[in-house]
């Protein structure tokens, strides 16, 4: 899917330098960065979901520990 991204000049220059150092395109650098971000966010969502499940499951135990 096509997309236009407008970057601040400083960020564009940083991406250009990274791409040049890796002998690749800015497009490839942006795809890698977006993939890493999406994976990180997905992991965060899973951790928060599991935390909610644990909190629900062990609510009584957690309350007793708070009062101890």
pLDDT at 22: 97
For residue 68, what is the enclosing H or E element?
none
* Whether the predicted model's global pTM rises above the 0.85 cut: no
- Residue that has been written with the tokens 């940083």 in this structure: 14
pLDDT digits (tens, 9 = 90+) for 26-68: 999 999 999 999 888 877 878 888 888 888 888 888 888 887 7
CB-hemisphere CA count at 13 Å for 28? Answer: 9
For residue 12, what is the enclosing H or E element?
helix 9-22
């Amino acid at each position: 899917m096509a997309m236009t991204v407008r970057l601040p000049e400083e960020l564009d220059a940083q991406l250009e330098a990274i791409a040049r150092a890796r002998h690749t395109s800015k497009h490839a650098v942006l795809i890698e960065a977006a993939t890493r971000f999406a994976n990180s966010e997905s992991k965060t969502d899973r951790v928060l979901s599991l935390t909610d499940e644990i909190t629900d499951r062990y609510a009584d135990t957690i309350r007793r520990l708070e009062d101890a």
